[in-house]
Structure 1
C-alpha cells in the first residue's frame, strides 16, 4: 500500500464543505499545481445544501477554521479519484510540532463519519 501513496506540501486555498477543499500543491523544483480539488479520503461530511444544510455549514466552518490558508501535508492515493473526478487525500496539519490527521479530526469532532470506498 505504501507504494501507492504520494506526499506533497500544499496550501489550502478554499474549503467548499466538510470533506472537499482546493489546494495549491508543491510538486518540487518550483512546479505547482494550482486550485486542485481534493476530497477527504475515508470520511463523509453532511452536505451544505438540502436537508443537511445546518450540519453541513457547521462542518464546513470547522474545516475552514482548521486548514484554510494553512500549509499542510497532502497524502494522495495513487491514481485514485472519486466519482466526481476529485483526487482522494488525507490532510495532515502540524499542530504544536505534531502532525495531526485532519480527516480523523473531522470525525472526532462529530462533523463527519468514516466511509468505506
Structure 2
C-alpha cells in the first residue's frame, strides 16, 4: 500500500476524481485521474443521472479544492481497466474515516469488488 498527499482539482462523478499528487520535494504529478476503489456510484449520464448528480454534488462539496490523503495498492499497474489509479481517500485533517466508506454509509454509492 502506498500513501500520497493530493489536492482534488475535479470531481467527475462520485467514484472518479482528478487530483494533483504531491510527490514531495516540491514535485507534483498533475491531472491524475483516480477511481475510488471498493465502491460503485451512480453515473451522471443515462438513467442513473438524478442519483448520480446527488452523489457527485455531495462529494464535490466535501473534497473539491481540498487536500486529501490517497491510499493506493499496486496490482501490477495500480490502475483499473480505464487507466485510472485506484485509491481509498481520506481527509488530510487526520480523520480516519474513509471517504469511500462515507459514500456507501450515506447511500450515495454501493460497495463493489473488482
Give the stretch that moved more between structures: 15-24 or 97-106: 97-106
Q: Give the secondary-structure state (helix, strand or coil) at the position aligned to 2:81.
A: coil
Correspondence for 2:109: 112
Q: 1:81 aligns with which of 59, 79, 82?
A: 79
CA distance in 2, matches of 1:99, 1:52: 30
CA distance in 1, matches of 2:16, 2:84: 9
What is the RMSD of the two structures over their aligned residues, measured on CA atoms?
Answer: 1.1
Q: 2:39 aligns with which of 37, 40, 43?
A: 43
Hey, which bits of structure 1, 4+ residues long, moved more than 6 A?
A: none
Tell whether the 8 Å contact from 2:5 to 2:68 is kept in structure 1 after alignment.
yes
Please state how far the C-alpha of 1:100 moved relative to its aligned partner. 2.2
Tell whether the 8 Å contact from 1:94 to 1:100 is kept in structure 2 after alignment.
no
Structure 1 gaps, min length 5: none
Structure 2 gaps, min length 5: none
TM-score by length of structure 2 reads 0.93
Q: Give the secondary-structure state (helix, strand or coil) at the position aligned to 2:43.
A: coil
State the aligned residue count: 112
- Paired residues for 1:25-36 under 5 Å: 25-36=21-32
Q: Give the secondary-structure state (helix, strand or coil) at the position aligned to 2:97.
A: strand
TM-score by length of structure 1 reads 0.91
CA distance in 1, matches of 2:53, 2:64: 15
CA distance in 1, matches of 2:92, 2:78: 25
**Could you say which structure has the higher strand fraction?**
1
